[in-house]
Amino acid sequence: MIIFGSKATQVASETINEKCASCGTPNSIQMTVFQKYAHVFWIPSFPMGKTSITQCSHCKQVLEKKEFSRNLNTNYEILKSKSKTPIWTLKDNKSRHQLNFSF
């Protein structure tokens, strides 16, 4: 039996100078970029791209990348270009974000 799947590791996080679309609080958006990777027996094998989420520090609304406005997408592209894929993708458990994919 071969155990395989995918996970994501946080590679960048930054406060964005945008106001929250839900509550209107300025400068309250925290954007986090994750590097997705495939693993075999929980050993990272190869990167599969990057994704991102945002969370408002005031109302706690979370947006996934597909829900981003044009301004958030621009900020995502800038933050993504600054973030590097780690050579060794394993980090402490606090920085992991589980993504569920069906193969």
Residue 101 has a pLDDT of 41
Could you identify the residue written with the tokens 């929250």? 20
Residue 103 has a pLDDT of 38
Q: What are phi and psi of 57, to 5 degrees?
A: -75, -15
Is the distance from CB of 54 to CB of 21 less than 8 angstroms? Answer: no
Q: What is the per-residue pLDDT across 14-23, written as a single tens digit (0 to 9) for each?
A: 999 888 988 9
Output the CA–CA distances (angstroms, integers) from residue 102 to 4, 8, 69, 78, 99, in the order listed.
11, 15, 28, 30, 10
Q: Report d(CA 101, CA 8) in Å as an integer.
A: 11
Q: What is the per-residue pLDDT across 26-82, written as a single tens digit (0 to 9) for each?
A: 999 999 999 888 888 877 777 788 899 999 999 999 999 999 999 999 999 999 988
